[in-house]
Amino acid sequence: MKKWLTTGIAAVMGVALLIGGCSSQSPGATPAPDQVNDAKNTAKVGEQVGYKIIGIDPGAGLMKATKKAMEDYQLKDWELVEGSGTAMTAALTKAIQDKKPIIVTGWTPHWMFSKFDLKYLDDPKGSFGKDEEIHTLVRTGLKADHPNAYQFLDKFEWTPSDMENVMLEILNGKKPEEAASDWVKNNPDKVNKWIEGIQPGAKEKLKLAYVAWDSEIASTNVVKAVLEQKLNYDVELSQVEAGPMFIGLANGDVDGLVAAWLPTTHADYVEKLKGKFEDLGVNLSGTKLGLVVPSYMDIHSIEDLNK
Ligand code: PBE
């Protein structure tokens, strides 16, 4: 069995940077098994992971929450590595293949929890906030301009496991549009409830914005599939950063989004633009944010990062 603690480096800045195998021991200094065990028991978590927390895109609310956690728990020597959701999951996948330690910023719903054995680190100071909801927001005037699309967006609501199903299909190789179409086909009861009594459109164009987070790729594609296949709209998806997503909505460039995590994660964005969009309420409940590690790591709380 590989000793995942023998490399002090755990350089998990991206798959490309990873050094395969356990190559970081000094030459000729292969430790005796008892020394390895000692190292395993005593090496600080920070040393094991190079004092790095693997983050996602800088505009994500999760990054802001992580910075707050790093202050709250006084993680002074630590670095939050910026990247993307994709780079984060690539680093996580690679670390788990090699049974190495890693700390990532994570959220639920996400396929990572179905695919890997992971745990959230306890957050006794509450830096990551309470569980919250994902809201659907639309531009001012959508109700008057596209009442049918508006009605459906108002009704759209599903569960974390629905969303995870779509995410897993995408992970397993389906294109997002294909995974979304299949889900719509396979879940007529849910879909029919959303569209009951709504008249189809006449191929009017709509623009939905989203950020390339795996959860929002899934939800936005499902909404597009329903609007196009069931309600005869022509939907353009605009993949942007978090800031421009909200600003586009407030400007009226974007008709709607299903990606607003509230009341906390996207509070900054939403408060600045208050009154310039309409909140159609919750489309998913049961979310969570935090620091996530493989279950084989022997830590349980963010407080342990200082030990
Ligand atoms: N996330 C997790 C969003 C909302 C919570 C990555 C999907 C974000 O961090 O802004």
Segment 76-116, tens digit of pLDDT: 999 999 999 999 999 999 999 999 999 999 999 999 999 99
**One domain, residues 85 and 188:** no
Residues with CB under 6 A from ligand 1: 56, 60-62, 107, 213, 215, 242, 261, 265, 289
Computed on alpha carbons and rounded to an integer, the radius of gyration of the chain in Å comes to 22
**One domain, residues 160 and 192:** yes
Ligand 1 centroid to Cα of residue 200, in Å, is 32
Q: How many domains does the chain have?
A: 2
Sheet of 277-285: strand order equals 234-239, 205-210, 256-262, 133-139, 277-285
**One domain, residues 147 and 60:** no
Q: Which residues contact 71 (CB under 8 A, 6 or more apart)?
A: none
pTM for the whole thing?
Answer: 0.86
**pLDDT for 35:** 43
Ligand 1 centroid to Cα of residue 156, in Å, is 19
pLDDT reading at 30 higher than 90: no
**pLDDT for 42:** 62
Atom number in ligand 1 closest to CA 266: 10
- Alpha-carbon distance of 113 to 107, in angstroms, equals 9
**Which of 240, 265, 288, 292 has the most ligand 1 atoms within 8 A of CB, as the residue to mutate?**
265
**One domain, residues 94 and 191:** no
**Which of 266, 270, 283, 285 has the most ligand 1 atoms within 8 A of CB, as the residue to mutate?**
266
- CB-CB neighbours of 245 under 10 Å: 24
Q: Are 265 and 215 in contact (CB under 8 A)?
A: no
Ligand 1 centroid to Cα of residue 25, in Å, is 37
Question: Which candidate, 288, 301, 292, places its Cα nearest to that of 130?
Answer: 288
Atom number in ligand 1 closest to CA 134: 4
Q: Mean pLDDT throughout 142-165? A: 98
pLDDT reading at 293 higher than 50: yes
pLDDT reading at 24 higher than 80: no
Ligand 1 centroid to Cα of residue 60, in Å, is 5
**pLDDT for 25:** 40
**One domain, residues 138 and 280:** yes
pLDDT per residue as tens digits for the range 172-224: 999 999 999 999 999 999 999 999 999 998 999 999 999 999 999 999 999 99
**pLDDT for 131:** 83
Atom number in ligand 1 closest to CA 60: 10
Q: Mean pLDDT throughout 225-243? A: 98
**One domain, residues 146 and 198:** yes
Q: Are 64 and 267 in contact (CB under 8 A)?
A: no
**One domain, residues 113 and 245:** no
Atom number in ligand 1 closest to CA 56: 6
Q: How confident is the model at residue 14 (pLDDT cuts 50, 70, 90)?
A: very low
- Alpha-carbon distance of 182 to 174, in angstroms, equals 10
Q: Confirm whether 1 is domain-assigned.
A: no
**One domain, residues 74 and 203:** no
Instruction: Calculate the average pLDDT of the chain.
Output: 90
Q: Mean pLDDT throughout 266-286? A: 97
Q: Confirm whether 8 is domain-assigned.
A: no
**One domain, residues 244 and 147:** yes
Q: Confirm whether 164 is domain-assigned.
A: yes
**Which of 82, 137, 211, 245 has the most ligand 1 atoms within 8 A of CB, as the residue to mutate?**
211
Q: Are 106 and 30 in contact (CB under 8 A)?
A: no
Q: How confident is the model at residue 4 (pLDDT cuts 50, 70, 90)?
A: very low
pLDDT reading at 272 higher than 80: yes
Q: Are 275 and 16 in contact (CB under 8 A)?
A: no
**pLDDT for 244:** 98
**One domain, residues 144 and 119:** no
pLDDT reading at 28 higher than 60: no
Beta bridge partners of 207: 236
**pLDDT for 186:** 98
Q: Report the CATH number at residue 259.
A: 3.10.105.10
Q: Report the CATH number at residue 28.
A: 3.40.190.100
Q: How far is CA 238 from CA 56, 104, 206, 210, 265, in A?
A: 19, 27, 10, 6, 21
- Which residue range forms the structural domain that includes residue 212? 133-286
Ligand 1 centroid to Cα of residue 261, in Å, is 7
Ligand 1 centroid to Cα of residue 242, in Å, is 9
Ligand 1 centroid to Cα of residue 299, in Å, is 24
pLDDT reading at 292 higher than 90: yes
**pLDDT for 307:** 85
Atom number in ligand 1 closest to CA 64: 9
Q: Mean pLDDT throughout 38-56? A: 83
- CB-CB neighbours of 82 under 10 Å: 15
